[in-house]
Amino acid sequence: MIKKIKAKPLSEIGMEWDLMCASRQAVIDSGKDISLELVTAPCLLQKVQKELPTSVIDVGCGTGFLTARLAELVSSCVGIDASGRSIEIAKKKYSKAKAHFYKYRISEYVTDIPFDMCVANMVFSSDPELSCSLQAIHNMLNAKGKLLVVIPHPCFWAKYWNFETEEWFDYGKEIFIEHDFSVSLVKSLGKATYIHRPLQQYINEITSNGFQLKELEELEPVGPLPAGYRYDYPRFLFMEFQKS
């Protein structure tokens, strides 16, 4: 079920992920999240490997799948998430990774040693505190720090989730949407909140918080898809920003 709802605080969204993060990790372990395995994670790992930063922070790291792989590429890697249960799973599941995991909302995290790069994979679309988060990210990066962002493609996500024809949907407005969280090959993992924002709002919000847009890419799978699985249009959008 998909429906428009009133704005929801981050604390409540964090609790939603507390309830379904174990099921989410089980799906990741099974290899059934095609978008994570073949689209979003490969994109970000390739971009990080190209830039060769020394330190990276993964904001909204969830249960740590991407963070653990980022840690293989850099000297220092931190993952933070507002879901305490997700962080517990990350610490246990990826205990051998050269990564540190902490329960923090993005706006709360403070560091004495700035990072070279911040990765935000599929987190801004569930963050009701986007401006505060962006200010915090700006503060935690060094003078030439970069922000790598992957979001659901604002132009196609409504089509993919079949709510573009709902009378309440308006592409040009910020809308909080409650839905059954699903991934490529597994449905209904639990209740989740998605925040639709038009692309213009994302770019304006990020650049107004001290970043310059350097690259924008519509993402496609990097490997063969399961038989019968279709990927007719880009579902995800990558953006690279530099601190200014």
Phi, psi of 129 (to 5 degrees): -110, 40
Per residue in 13-33, pLDDT tens? 999 999 999 999 999 999 889
Q: Where are the beta strands (DSSP E) in 55-167?
A: 55-59, 76-81, 100-103, 115-121, 141-152
Per residue in 46-79, pLDDT tens? 999 999 999 999 999 999 999 999 999 999 999 9
Residue 189: per-residue pLDDT: 87
Residue 226: per-residue pLDDT: 87
Residue 122: per-residue pLDDT: 97
Please give the chain's pLDDT, 244 residues, in tens: 899 999 999 999 999 999 999 999 999 999 889 999 999 999 999 999 999 999 999 999 999 999 999 999 999 999 999 999 999 999 999 999 999 999 999 999 999 999 999 999 999 999 999 999 999 999 999 999 999 999 999 999 999 999 999 999 999 999 999 999 988 787 888 999 999 999 999 999 999 999 999 999 999 999 898 888 888 999 999 999 999 9
Amino acid at 146: K
- Give the C-alpha separation, 61 to 81, whole Å: 6
Residue 230: per-residue pLDDT: 85
Residue 16: per-residue pLDDT: 96
- Give the C-alpha separation, 98 to 89, whole Å: 15
Distances (CA, A) of 207 to 43, 47, 201, 214: 22, 20, 10, 11
